[in-house]
Structure 1
Amino acid sequence: MEKGSPSSALQSLLEAIKASDVVEKRIQLLAKLEDLDLREESDSASLVECLATFWEDYTCLDVSQCMLNKTIVHVAVKFASPASSDCLPQFLALSTKASSWCRKHLKMTLMSTQDSQEEEHSQLFFQLLLELLRLSTANILSLTKYPLLSSKESVDIVEKFILELLNLIKDVVPEIKRINSLGSEVLKVAQTSIDALINLCKRYFQIINENLSDARLKDSSVIASEVVSVKDHVLTITKHMVEKLCELGSLAASDGGSLVTILNVSWKGVVTLLQLGKEVITQRVNVQDIIRTLTSLVNGHLKCATEAWSSTQETVSVAESRRTFLPVKFYLLNAAKISSLYPCQACLVYRELMFCILLISTFRISLCYEKNLKNASEVCSELLDKTYLDLLSSILSSAEVNPELKLELLNWLFNDECGAVSEERDPTTYYNIGLMIEIFAVSCEAVPRSSLLLLGRVALFHSLLSHSVGFEEDVKIKITRKLDWFLDVMVNKDIYSYVLTLQIPVVNGTGQKLELNWQSMFSVLLDSIKTFMIVSYSSVAWEEFEDFLVENICHPHFLCREIIMELWCFLVRHAEEEVAKALICKLCIVMKLIADPASLGFPTSLLRKMARAICLLLTNGTASTADHVYSFIADDTGSHSLMVIYSALLLEGFPLNLLPENVRTMAKQKIITDYFGFIESFDESLLPVTSSNAFGTPVIAICASLQSQQVSMSDVDLKTLKFIIKIIQNLKHPKGKSTKECCFMLLNVALEIVSAMKHLYQSDEMEKVVMELHGLFISGPTASDSHLHQCKPHLALFMGGLGDMQMSESDDCAKSTAVWELYHMMLKERHWALVHLAIASFGYFAARTSCNQLWRFVPQNATLSYDVISASEASEERFMSELKAFLEKEVAVLATITASSHQHELLVKEGTVLREMVQKISNTCIEEEVTESDGLGSNVDSQCSKRRKLPDGISRGVELIQNGLKFIGDGLSQWQQNHNVESTELQEKFLTHFSRLEDVVSHLSGLAGSG
């Protein structure tokens, strides 16, 4: 047999194997086949065909059968590489048969007991499995060389082979840990098989393209028919591979990390195959399900992290954080690649995709709130921020997606129903990591109304704005229209509080130059809108952005107003000068529509708000812009409305210093001249008999100019002090309510003017002013007037400068006594705001005065002398301790801002009040202001131009209470003058209750007046 030819030797051995009934003998004979040197392709085909016949296909009952099949596979491996096209079908058939048998045997092996005999059997089977995978890999490599696309029979063999191999790998991979010492080798060969299959598909698609080119060149219907047949075969194979690789990738993902190589090769294979068949793959493969699978893997991974981290107080390390988020990034990257390849298919499942993105955005916000998860928060931002934005951009940036679908997607993400049904929660734990678990139970249908995801939406909106450079014009316009949604959400109490206090990690740069730092969420949001402003500036979206800025410049919510003004200032600082001029002039035109002299005296009126905004913009702009606006509104020969606008701008601190020198000099001179003309002609007979908010405008203008340091102190002389004395003398015997209100308004402004001119405190006239103020607030007939309560903030500002005044400390000095008693009155105030102002004033005074006996200025029953909690008796030591603490807080500068739970609670409460106010104003006042803006005589002061008239009984009753307070105040003054020591304690109690009663009546009077 050895001396014959290889063919004869092969036939002899095959006959002997067939004739043998003993398994062990067959194994020995099969092993001899390895020694043959077969050079004829027909011999190799005969050998493999017989090997398939010798295969024991029934259920394996003992080791010998496994040994027999292992030997068959071992022999086949030797002759399979390389296999020719003639014998390749036989190799594929053998591998298919063996793969099917191994799948059954694997289940039996894993269920078997762990005794020594079964262990030996299992080890033998795993060796057989390893050999089979090597044989299959060799077959795939041969298929790449000889594709076997010539006949239907060969095509069917290839399809069955690939399907059985994929099923076998899918069954083996999840059990890889139970495959003893050969597990790592099996896993490695399985990965090699998958790579080989993907390369095979690449080769198949290359053949299709080549055949299509031949068919076009030769115009042959026969070739075209063959191409269709081959194409169908390739698509069928690709479909099987994509489905099995998705299943394999999902199984590897659930392993916990040990199957990273299989996870990587399977999902990358899916993306590669989808890319190869981009034109036709959707006919066979459900791309939507693949995207859903990837998003579910992301959600599941984040849920596991949430459950693990919510129950730990230990600091999560960077290494653990990377292990958690790297798989999430991998799934997102693949989802983004598939979505960019098939954007229309991705749009059909955009709810699942956007829910996944919202989960990530909300998850990273919840991490920021936990100190022990700081590392996790930074790693999450570093790895996932750009990745999930790439996923979103793959749809929004695609030209294949219908614009209506893009709009629907953005409406779903940022809709008016967001957070409409707000769950009542403890504000300090609203975005706690533990509550994230609840989000995973939210269905896609409920997502638009879930308040738990609201802050995540805001964070996502910031990311979208920051990365909007690559978006098409239609998307930029749609995003611009969502800026109103952003402002509406900022009014929400929870968003309002967290945006102001939360610090979030921000990633800048790319690659090796990546930088990460923590910033206030508020500043980050502002920066993102500024970025979008730059992006939209040269696009068709800019016109809508301009409208957004103009419409919201007087937004009723202060935080939204701050955002809008910051955007305006950014625009004025960096845009072309002509653009800034045109926009500010547009605001002046809007002011022209609402110019009403009656609203000049109300700082909260729409006119004053607009003027305040314009002055701020001019301060941030160029000198020529300020000159241009001044020329527009300062024409005395112009309309009455321009004069009103001019007055409003002066009241809000128009930046005169930016004007050209000659214009600036004339403007300042006019302000001073008007002021002197007013105070010199001031007389009781000139006071208005009816309420007029425009009265005293020159005084308010000089006050605003002094505070902004645009008019020097030397420009105003002692006439101001005489003016104050005139006002106080008129207040002693007012002729009517309107006259008194005008005098109190002028007194407040005059006190502010004097507080800005320190040199006046050293004049002789100042003593008379102090004595007049003492008579007004302490001993005069109007000391109990409720209007004086509203003057106390301005009095505190004035009294702070008394430290520059020379005073005697003797008991018989009337001036010193007056100052003592004025400070006694202020320091006994119980309202928190007045306490703050009084202490600030006293601290400023104490730091500058030459007086040594400061205890004289502090009453024994000063507010800060009491312990509020225990309500104990007054203590001088306690006052000094509180004063020291207050002054230290005033000069303290915090290096970092860390929000406490108490601050969150206060902000949430404040946000609730503000939101109710905004809704009320939005529903009533804005419509009325717009309706009445056509008539220039409309009253557009603080809130609404239409007011309900209160019943006469209420107004009359309030007036009687005010008269009663006056009589009580006169009686208390007489009582104090009697100096009855025995009744001192009773007097103090009376004064305390009387002060509270004054506050209540003052509020009632204000309500009655506003009605």
Structure 2
Amino acid sequence: MESKWSNARLQSLLEAIKSSDVVESRVQLIMKLGDVVLPDKSDRSYLVECLNTFWEDFTCLDVSQCMLNKAILHVAAKFLTEDISQCLEQFLLLGTKKLESFQLLYENQGSTWCAKHLKMTVMETQDSPEEEHSDLFFKLLLDLVAFSTASFSALSRYPILGNTELKVLVENFVLEQLNLARDATSELKKIHSVGPEVLNSIQGLLDAALKLCRVYSEAVNWEFYNASIQQDTQGMECEETTKIDHVICIIKYTIERFCDLGSLAAKDGGNLVTILNASWKGVVSLLQLGKGALASKTNVDDIILTLVSLARETLRCASDAWSSLVESITVTDARRAFLPVRFYLINAVRISRQYPCQAFSVYKEITRFVLMIFSLKILLSKESFLKDASEVLAEQLEPTSFQLIESVLNSALLKQELKVEVLDWLFDEGYPSSDCEDQRSESTTLASDVFLVTCDAVPWARIFLLPRIALFLKILEKSELDDIKLGMTRKLGWLLNIIIYEEVYASILVLQFPVSPDSGPSKNVMWLPMYSFLVQSLKAFMLLAYSTPAWEELESFLIEYILHPHFLCWEIVMELWCFKVRHAEPDLVIDIFDKICLLFKSVAPLDSHLIPGCILRRLAKSICMLVSSSAHSMVDQVYSYISDDKSQLSLVMYMALLMEGFPLNLLSDDLQRVAVQKIISEYFGFIDNFDVDIIRSCSSSIYIVPVFAMASALATLQINVPDIDGRTLKFMVTMIQSYKTATEQSSNDLYGKLLGETLHIISHMKPLYASEEMDDVVLGLKSLLISGTAASDAQIFRCKPGLAIFSAGLGHKEIVESDKNPNTCAVWEVFHMLLRERHWAFVHLAIAAFGYFAARTSCNELWRFVPQNAALAFDVKSGNETKEDYFMSELKIFLEKEMAFTSVRYSSEQVSPLVNEGSILKEMTYKHLNVESRGEACEIMGIDGENHTSKKRKFPDEISRGVELLQDGLKVMGYGISKWKQDQLGSSELQGKFLSNFSCLEDLVNHLMGLAAGG
């Protein structure tokens, strides 16, 4: 009965609406339709069909049309909450029609009609009919968005998956509703009067669309679809695959429009936070549907690029805003600026982890942006007022941005060759660009320059050198898969090659930057020197690489670069060697030292002259550093290996180790006692029997081993020998006199070495400075080094480190402050010579020596010890003007350095000299490497053609050197035999046997000399 009454009332109202010509009357009648109860589903379907016919879709000319359409939407929306399973098609058609008419009004006249009404709203009074129309239009917009939201909810309750015609209608409907949300969002600024309400409505629409996609996704069998794709069953569509294609289409449309909304919200400067948040989080959620089936149906790589681009643009705006500031950026301001950047990155990371293959397709853009973040961190860390910003960036952006690269490199879904491609591109072996625009110095690089680097320029841009190193180290620390560990191990040589560049070299030595919390045990950002961070990362990687295929490669790297010609690279490699021997199993450590000692022994004949920087001394320095980091038993083993053998070759090795500071103090007590007794005995034997004739006839440094041994022992051990005092000073005076008269270059070399080591010996024995013989030593040094012909000898420069240490000890000597005292004048002149040196290393030695002297001497007139042209007296900027104040200022800083350098900050004054030094070291390294490579090439190629005549040499240079050493050894032995005969030590029978064997040896050596000369 009720159904019949309702149907009759419905028919009566519909007929009245159709017959009415007055819009206001039609609106009233349509509103009454909303009060009609329609229990029959067919009646609801008929009603919605009629509403479709009542909708006026021509261009809106006045307020009446908006009123009519608003009433229609009001009635239709009431029935959306009921069971409309039988009339979904009609509702979808109504929704599509009202959108078409809205877009006709809103888009076609958006630039004229809508703008006109917005202007009228501002200019006219509240009673204006135009304002009334625009207000009604905006309310209609709110109803449209609400109807769309309710429609999505209805579709979620009644999924349409079977009817082909309805599926197309649903797809178009979803697309049009989301287009409405996008268009309304783009015009929010023009409809500010209802902007908040529209914003909330759009938020609801997005939530409903996301729910709709989830419901549809749960209604289909994704495993079946993915399996059918893998089996390549194209053309064999079934009902299930058709359903899934329909669901994919809906999800795809939703993802695309969500991306559009997210981009629009981002351009608004953060005012649309709710839309920004909902849209991008919605994209991430939607891409998690389908169990991977969406990868080939949606442009995931474009979505990742969009998020990266938004993050980059936001970061650039913040960087530009700070570039003109001179005041500090607070932590709060920095967090506020970086928050949206981190938001974009988090969503990009979530997508990249789920779709690593798509992330790989845009890895160049990803890595470029990550390098930009690392670059900004480094640039910000150089300015004290941007320190907080640098810390926040390291905490908020660096870890998240690195996860983008991790999503590719640590993905098990990507093949190894693809990951290697990323590493090869990022850590290219080519040379950095030398273009004009890239030649800006490290200290003047602007943050804006970072954003100008293109993808193609990343491997060559000098501005990315340090960031690439920082990223390299980060990848080392976070390597999870064995293939990445292996790939990174093969790139360790690239790291050393980059460190050679002067700006990188300088920055590693002076730069400090914040390190993100995940790089250490602390949860807070830590400021670390770049060198420390570099070494710590490499050590951490050694632990990760152990027991993996990368370990063998890592060991090969350590062996290959143990003698790297660049000292900083060598230091880094040796840090890793020391870390290895410090924590390795004892058997492995023993094997390491056995191999290194064997290598040491094989190299010894090649460099017996022990020239600074030769292979033997470099290897000896490496051994000294290694034994200092190993167990005491290994120190004993290495020392015994060298000292137990009495051959001349072992003497060469022994001397090389002592010259490079072998840690005698780490020997066991018994062996240390034996070693000290041996050193003292041989030292006394040498200085008591010092023979000028042997120096003249011997070019080998082996003869002066006892002096090197004593200097090395005194540097590490506490040796108290009363008799050593006067004998050493007498020996020093005798040697200075002999040095003055020496004419041969080989003699000068030995005297120079003797002088330097003896000065070191004296500097360790403070009581010597109070003896009378010290005046003779100072006068002799002044005569030799300043007034004599030896003052221009190159060997003198090698003596100056010892002279500086010796001069510092003069603070323990009583000095008469009188210019008539020759001893005092000699001390003044020695200090004058030291303080005039311009090289930074000598400057440091000299100022350190003078500072030590000034703190301990009883002299009051210290200005007498400083020359007017002292290196530190010159003006730093001009380099020409000298003032005493400059020197005193530098001396004061040195003496109060604990207070002056409470914190180390990056400054151009520190970097500039280091860059110049790095440039020199780079050229030296390249020359060294080129010489080695040419030698290897000649050895491999055999040298044909015009160099064929060089093959007439029958003996290599090493054999000729060995023969010369044998000849020198015979001379030394000859002098020893003559003294042996004079002292009449030993039996005549023993002398006879020895002389007979010596004669045979002499004949053999002479024969070898003839063969070598003939070759």
Match of 1:462 among 473, 476, 490: 473
Partner letter of residue 546 of structure 1?
E
Asked if 1:472 is matched to 2:481, the reply is yes
Contact preservation (8 Å) 2:817, 2:861: no
Contact preservation (8 Å) 2:6, 2:38: yes
Question: Aligned in 2, Cα 1:331/1:674: closer, same or farther, shift over 3 Å?
Answer: same
> Partners in 2 of 1:872 and 1:301 — Cα distance?
48
- CA drift of 1:929 comes to 8.2
> Partners in 2 of 1:36 and 1:367 — Cα distance?
69
- Residue number in structure 2 paired with 1:256: 269
Match of 1:561 among 557, 570, 577: 570
- CA drift of 1:164 comes to 0.8
Asked if 1:370 is matched to 2:356, the reply is no
- Give runs of aligned pairs for residues 762-781 of structure 1, distance below 5 A: 762-770=770-778, 772-773=780-781, 776=784
Structure 2's unaligned 5+ residue stretches are: 121-127, 229-233, 941-954, 963-1015
> Partners in 2 of 1:9 and 1:840 — Cα distance?
108
Asked if 1:165 is matched to 2:177, the reply is yes
SS of structure 2 residue aligned to 1:694: helix
Contact preservation (8 Å) 2:854, 2:862: no
- Residue number in structure 2 paired with 1:266: 279
> Partners in 1 of 2:379 and 2:886 — Cα distance?
43
- Residue number in structure 1 paired with 2:951: none
Question: Aligned in 2, Cα 1:260/1:780: closer, same or farther, shift over 3 Å?
Answer: closer
- Give runs of aligned pairs for residues 548-947 of structure 1, distance below 5 A: 548-596=557-605, 598-599=607-608, 601-636=610-645, 641-709=649-717, 711-712=719-720, 716-734=724-742, 736-770=744-778, 772-773=780-781, 776=784, 791=799, 793-805=801-813, 817-827=822-832, 830-832=836-838, 840-849=848-857, 854=861, 858=865, 863=870, 881=888, 885=892, 888=895, 894-925=901-932, 928=935, 937=958
SS of structure 2 residue aligned to 1:444: coil
Match of 1:352 among 365, 382, 403: 365
Segment of structure 1 superposing worse, 251-260 or 422-431: 422-431
Identity over the aligned pairs, expressed in percent?
Answer: 44
SS of structure 1 residue aligned to 2:496: helix
Question: Aligned in 2, Cα 1:797/1:503: closer, same or farther, shift over 3 Å?
Answer: closer
- CA drift of 1:26 comes to 0.5
SS of structure 1 residue aligned to 2:514: strand
Match of 1:152 among 140, 160, 164: 164
SS of structure 2 residue aligned to 1:238: helix
Contact preservation (8 Å) 2:582, 2:630: yes
Contact preservation (8 Å) 1:205, 1:234: yes
Partner letter of residue 216 of structure 2?
Y
Contact preservation (8 Å) 2:149, 2:205: yes
- CA drift of 1:376 comes to 2.4
Question: Aligned in 2, Cα 1:43/1:757: closer, same or farther, shift over 3 Å?
Answer: same
Partner letter of residue 115 of structure 2?
M
> Partners in 2 of 1:230 and 1:494 — Cα distance?
61
Match of 1:506 among 515, 521, 526: 515
Partner letter of residue 192 of structure 2?
N
TM-score w.r.t. the length of structure 2 is: 0.84
Partner letter of residue 138 of structure 1?
A
- Give runs of aligned pairs for residues 84-233 of structure 1, distance below 5 A: 84-107=84-107, 108=109, 109-113=113-117, 114-115=119-120, 116-209=128-221, 225-233=238-246
> Partners in 1 of 2:798 and 2:171 — Cα distance?
91
Contact preservation (8 Å) 1:864, 1:882: no
SS of structure 1 residue aligned to 2:528: strand
SS of structure 1 residue aligned to 2:220: helix
> Partners in 1 of 2:868 and 2:333 — Cα distance?
60
- CA drift of 1:699 comes to 0.9
- What is the RMSD of the two structures over their aligned residues, measured on CA atoms? 3.7
> Partners in 1 of 2:269 and 2:881 — Cα distance?
67
Question: Aligned in 2, Cα 1:594/1:809: closer, same or farther, shift over 3 Å?
Answer: same
> Partners in 1 of 2:159 and 2:797 — Cα distance?
97
- Residue number in structure 2 paired with 1:1005: none
> Partners in 2 of 1:780 and 1:137 — Cα distance?
100
Question: Aligned in 2, Cα 1:367/1:802: closer, same or farther, shift over 3 Å?
Answer: closer
Contact preservation (8 Å) 2:679, 2:710: yes
Partner letter of residue 657 of structure 1?
N
**Aligned residue pairs, count:** 927
Question: Aligned in 2, Cα 1:444/1:769: closer, same or farther, shift over 3 Å?
Answer: closer
- Residue number in structure 2 paired with 1:440: 451
Segment of structure 1 superposing worse, 905-914 or 408-417: 905-914
> Partners in 2 of 1:24 and 1:424 — Cα distance?
71
SS of structure 1 residue aligned to 2:397: helix
- CA drift of 1:437 comes to 2.9
Structure 1's unaligned 5+ residue stretches are: 942-1011
SS of structure 2 residue aligned to 1:112: helix
Asked if 1:286 is matched to 2:299, the reply is yes
Contact preservation (8 Å) 1:493, 1:915: yes
TM-score w.r.t. the length of structure 1 is: 0.84
> Partners in 2 of 1:301 and 1:404 — Cα distance?
34
Question: Aligned in 2, Cα 1:906/1:725: closer, same or farther, shift over 3 Å?
Answer: closer
SS of structure 1 residue aligned to 2:341: helix
> Partners in 1 of 2:885 and 2:37 — Cα distance?
107
SS of structure 2 residue aligned to 1:505: strand
> Partners in 2 of 1:501 and 1:199 — Cα distance?
55
> Partners in 2 of 1:498 and 1:173 — Cα distance?
48
> Partners in 2 of 1:84 and 1:511 — Cα distance?
60
- CA drift of 1:203 comes to 1.6
Asked if 1:309 is matched to 2:322, the reply is yes
- CA drift of 1:196 comes to 1.6
> Partners in 2 of 1:939 and 1:515 — Cα distance?
62
Segment of structure 1 superposing worse, 880-889 or 383-392: 880-889
Deviations 1:360-405 (A, max 9, x none): 2222222223333333222221111111111101111112212111
Question: Aligned in 2, Cα 1:535/1:672: closer, same or farther, shift over 3 Å?
Answer: same
> Partners in 1 of 2:871 and 2:371 — Cα distance?
50
Deviations 1:257-280 (A, max 9, x none): 011211222222222222212432
Segment of structure 1 superposing worse, 238-247 or 733-742: 733-742
> Partners in 1 of 2:582 and 2:707 — Cα distance?
32
> Partners in 2 of 1:799 and 1:501 — Cα distance?
30
Partner letter of residue 503 of structure 1?
Q
- CA drift of 1:460 comes to 1.6
> Partners in 2 of 1:300 and 1:669 — Cα distance?
73
Question: Aligned in 2, Cα 1:228/1:874: closer, same or farther, shift over 3 Å?
Answer: closer
- CA drift of 1:31 comes to 0.9
> Partners in 2 of 1:302 and 1:811 — Cα distance?
68
Contact preservation (8 Å) 1:598, 1:939: no
Partner letter of residue 718 of structure 1?
G
Contact preservation (8 Å) 2:837, 2:871: no
Question: Aligned in 2, Cα 1:904/1:938: closer, same or farther, shift over 3 Å?
Answer: farther
- CA drift of 1:55 comes to 0.6
SS of structure 2 residue aligned to 1:604: coil
Question: Aligned in 2, Cα 1:104/1:361: closer, same or farther, shift over 3 Å?
Answer: farther
Question: Aligned in 2, Cα 1:121/1:585: closer, same or farther, shift over 3 Å?
Answer: farther
Contact preservation (8 Å) 2:31, 2:71: yes
Match of 1:538 among 544, 547, 557: 547
Segment of structure 1 superposing worse, 586-595 or 194-203: 586-595
Partner letter of residue 604 of structure 1?
G
> Partners in 1 of 2:422 and 2:432 — Cα distance?
18
Asked if 1:5 is matched to 2:5, the reply is yes
Contact preservation (8 Å) 2:438, 2:463: no
Match of 1:246 among 259, 264, 267: 259
Question: Aligned in 2, Cα 1:511/1:89: closer, same or farther, shift over 3 Å?
Answer: farther
> Partners in 1 of 2:438 and 2:896 — Cα distance?
32
> Partners in 2 of 1:421 and 1:880 — Cα distance?
38
- Residue number in structure 1 paired with 2:981: none
Contact preservation (8 Å) 1:820, 1:858: no
- CA drift of 1:793 comes to 4.8
> Partners in 2 of 1:146 and 1:205 — Cα distance?
13
Contact preservation (8 Å) 1:422, 1:451: no
Contact preservation (8 Å) 1:56, 1:69: yes
